[in-house]
Structure 1
Amino acid sequence: MQQVVFYTRKKCHLCEDAKQILDLLQDDYLFEIVERDIESNDEWIETYGLMIPVIEIEGEVVQYGQIDPFTISKRLQQKN
């Protein structure tokens, strides 16, 4: 099963939208969502603080900021 790492933080409107997109995509693709609150790790804050939300699949940042379902689904299809 693919693992989608979702870097997020509390009170982030774009993060809430991205989570909804990921939840909807789980209806079509088999993957696990691993949520990581960047506020819990200084390295994540430094790396992703200005980029969140960030979607990472198999160690590759696929999209950040404004997340769209087409880009994520295209990447998920490559491995299914």
Structure 2
Amino acid sequence: MTVKINFYTRDRCPLCDKAKADLLEIREELPFELEEIDIETSDELTEQFGLMIPVVYLNGEEAGYGIIDKLYMRNLIRESSRLK
């Protein structure tokens, strides 16, 4: 089974842009499914994640939010890949 990342984001979010670039760079090394979700398409998501974005869920569990550490995220994805 493939590692799945849900990436909650919105327009005009520099932290989101940086986190997305980091995730895409990690994906060049470690394969995973990436679903990008714009929280502004849902009032519920905006309320849930509004001040936290970007938010990264790894296989259904919150893995990080705000400033996403690329090395930490790479290690989480690598470890999750081994467990699958």
Pick the TM interval, shorter chain: over 0.9
CA RMSD of aligned residues (A): 0.8
| Distance apart, 1:52 and its partner CA | 0.1
The reply to whether residue 66 of structure 1 matches residue 77 of structure 2 is no
Aligned residue for 2:48?
47
Equivalent residue pairs, number: 80
Runs of 4+ in 1 over 6 A off after TM superposition: none
Aligned residue for 1:24?
25
| Distance apart, 1:58 and its partner CA | 1.0
Aligned residue for 1:34?
35
Instruction: Give the fraction of aligned pairs with identical amino acids, expressed as a percent.
Output: 39
DSSP 3-state at the match of 2:51? coil
Q: Output the TM-score relative to the length of structure 2.
A: 0.90
| Distance apart, 1:69 and its partner CA | 0.8
DSSP 3-state at the match of 1:61? strand
Structure 1: gaps spanning 5 or more residues:
none
State the distance in 2 between where 1:3 and 1:49 align: 22
Structure with the higher helix share, 1 or 2: 2
DSSP 3-state at the match of 1:26? helix
| Distance apart, 1:16 and its partner CA | 0.4
